[in-house]
A = this chain, B = another copy of it.
Amino acid sequence: MKSILKRKNISETPFRKSVLEIISDSSSAVSISYIENKLGEYNRVTLYRTIKTFLETGIIHSISIAGEDLRYAMCEDTCQQDNHIHNHLHLQCTQCNSVYCVDLPADSFINKSNHLIDSFEVHAKGVCEHCQ
């Protein structure tokens, strides 16, 4: 089977493979600095460009939490190049601070306002499975 990089039609370089592995090996969403620590030696510019490429090709999506660094997680197959909002829940654990993506069916609240909702994403705080 073709690698993710090949499937997304971008060159398969050692650096890209390392970054992809770090992100997909983690069960929770990771920050740039987490990736930097895992990489050891690396080039800052190349890392930023790699993240940008992964975002643009729909390999990863970013999770934005007020007051914290952006975090990145693998995309589902449903993810589009131009819209990375996932209909799922982003849970940040108040104990370990990890952020998990949790699948969620489109729900009742969607029609509770006067706005027409296309896609949504829930940011939640609580205690994750592992910390309970």
Q: Whose C-beta in chain B lies nearest to the C-beta of A119?
A: B125
Q: How far is the CB of A73 from chain B (nearest CB, A)?
A: 11
Q: Digit string of A117-132 for contact with B (CB within 8 Å is 1, else 0)?
A: 1111111111111001
Q: Is A41 an interface residue (CB 8 A)?
A: no
Q: Is A114 an interface residue (CB 8 A)?
A: yes
Q: Is A39 an interface residue (CB 8 A)?
A: no
Chain A residues proximal to chain B, CB less than 8 Å: 61-67, 70, 83-85, 89, 91, 93-94, 100, 102, 104-105, 107-109, 112-129, 132
Subset of 30 A-B contacts with CB under 8 Å: A61-B66, A63-B66, A64-B65, A64-B66, A64-B67, A85-B125, A89-B109, A89-B113, A91-B113, A93-B115, A102-B113, A102-B115, A104-B109, A104-B112, A104-B113, A107-B108, A108-B108, A109-B109, A115-B124, A115-B129, A116-B126, A117-B124, A118-B124, A118-B125, A118-B127, A119-B126, A120-B123, A120-B124, A120-B125, A122-B122
